[in-house]
Amino acid sequence: MKFAPILFLVLLQFASANAQTATPDTIPKCDMVVAFGSMCCGTASNDFLKAYIKKFNSSSKDGIKGWLLGGCGREGEYKILLSFATLKESEKLKLVEEIKNLIDEQNKKNKTVNASSGSISITTNLAATNFEYCRGQLKELDK
């Protein structure tokens, strides 16, 4: 009977380890990675990007798929991995430009509100496996 709590914890650990979550291997390529960095006081909010994705997906039959990957630093840094796989090449190019402009605007806003706010940067065309150093689990982005 004294082993029951230990057995329970082992079974609980086993069950949570087998949960269905996305892994970097299940996402073949990220068309865009948006990195939310920190300069001492935490990261910027991603609400503006979620709102943009939601608006884009509501007006397009083929949408943007996104995943959040946390634990990429000591101060809560995280990445949002975006896939535009279902879009035409011309739509992808336009979308990348729009998101770049959106992030430039957001970085300017963040610096006026809080000079020590973390920056937001973009990288394109990377495999999700490039971020194996991140400790968090990859999960679908709430839209």
SS3 content of the chain, % helix, strand, coil (to 5): 40, 20, 35
Structure pTM?
0.75
What pLDDT sits at residue 14? 46
Strands (E), 37-135: 65-69, 78-83, 120-126
Q: pLDDT value at position 19?
A: 41
pLDDT at 124: 86
Report how far residue 138's alpha carbon sits from residue 125's, in angstroms, rounded to the nearest whole number.
18
Tens of pLDDT, residue by residue over 11-34, are 445 444 444 455 555 655 789 999
The low-confidence residues of the chain, meaning pLDDT below 50, are 7, 9, 11-12, 14-20
Residue 99's pLDDT is: 95
Q: Please report which helix (H) or strand (E) contains residue 102, including its range.
A: helix 89-113
Q: Give residue 113's pLDDT.
A: 82
